[in-house]
Amino acid sequence: MDLKKELYLKFKKYIAINTQSDPNSKTYPSTKGQKILGAILVKEMKAIGLKKVQMDKFGYVTGELPTNIKEKMPVIAFMAHMDTSPDASGKNVKPKIHPKYKGGNIVINSQKGIILSPFQCPQLLSCIGEDIITASGDTLLGADNKAGIAIILTVVQWLIKNPEIKRPTIKIAFTPDEEIGKGVNFFNVKKFGADIAYTIDGDIAGAIEDETFNADGFKVKITGKSVHPGTAKDSLANAARIAADIMNSWPENILPETTSGREGFIMFASVQGAIENAEISGIAREHDIRKLNILKTHLKAIVNEKKIKYPLADIKIEFTEQYRNMKKVISMFPEIMDKLILAVKEAGIKPIIKPVRGGTDGARLSFMGLPAPNVFTGGFNFHGRYEWVSLDGMQKSAEVMLNLVKQWAKK
């Protein structure tokens, strides 16, 4: 079995299915394509020899590879999500292989001027000599997270074909709607039966993550007062303009486009408005929960100031908890990260331990009783037409998974 070839064949098959999730949908999963991919995965998992394979009514695809050792060991799980981002089309994805990357620019689409440059994406330079996969410039690629699915199923297929490799019981799960924050809304951790998990959903080779943002969503609702503009003095409250004033009052150095590393931010994700009604939707992110509360207090203060400035308008803000930093849970089980760090080193890669500037299913799973750090897939620039993944990086991720299996099979 050619590991690299098998990874590409699986990946190519999965990205052909449009699984773009929809935050405005009232169904679960949010789109039909996710169940279409789920049915394909169920068939494939049964064909390669996994046990207890099923897809439930919520679209969760699960299976099991039983242990081949007598000693009682922790049950480990590998997980990935099936949906792609709602931010860019996932329909008719056409992969392009750029073999043995030599450095410099990668032309994704010359007609549209879509060029992948190491100047904008220096992470490319760590992949010189590797095979880079992009889409055609019309869609995202879908490596987030179909690369993870391909890696997981290639590894379990390898383990089945090589029974001399000792392994604990391995659980597999593929989830829907991770990209819209609903990936584990109905996931039954107790029924799943794993003790620890790894989400295969990271970026460049070597990157492993045991820390996420603390995340809240927010909405600002503004009810204005409409009158004829000719008699508007002291009697008009323009909700659309008030919304703009609120957003313009937020400091420019605390936005996603002006922060990095552990720095938090407020993002104004969407705004809809007219004179009588306007609404701002957004997100608040911080690794430190105390700093998150400071950001929220700051935004509330701006809203309160606008209430005084615009007394004819009704302005309300509400926050909704989304997920919390999984570091709090994972740090209680040091063996999980110790084995992961060792598995990365055994694959010949330097571990890059970093916080996620976002979230994963693993963040919520950790607080549901299943600690789940994140493992790289070898890609970058997710959610858009500049997305790419290294096929060699995917192979390294598979090697790390195999090393993890061996680590957890030891006494």
Residue type, 365: L
- Show the tokens assigned to 334: 């040091």
Angstrom distances, CA of residue 125 to CA of 129, 204, 316, 407: 10, 11, 47, 31
Which one from 6, 44, 64, 83 is the annotated catalytic residue?
Answer: 83
**3-state SS record for 104-159:** CCEEEECCCCEEECCCCCHHHHHHCCCCEEECCCCCCCCHHHHHHHHHHHHHHHHH
CA-to-CA distance for 123 and 141, rounded, in angstroms? 17
- Angle in degrees, CA 195, 200, 201, rounded to 5: 130
Label residue 181 left, alpha or beta by phi (over 0 means left) and psi (-120 to 50 means alpha): left
179 is catalytic: no
Strands 314-323 and 114-116: unpaired
Please tell me which residue in 131, 144, 178, 216 is annotated as part of the active site. 178
CA–CA separation, 12 vs 5, rounded Å? Answer: 11
Q: Where are the alpha helices (DSSP H) in 249-381?
A: 289-309, 327-330, 334-346, 361-367
**What is the Cα Rg of the chain in Å?**
23
Confirm if 48 and 156 have CB atoms less than 8 A apart: yes
d(CA 5, CA 184): 31
Q: Is 83 assigned a catalytic role?
A: yes
H or E stretch at 277? strand 277-286
Could you give the residue numbers annotated as active site?
A: 83, 178
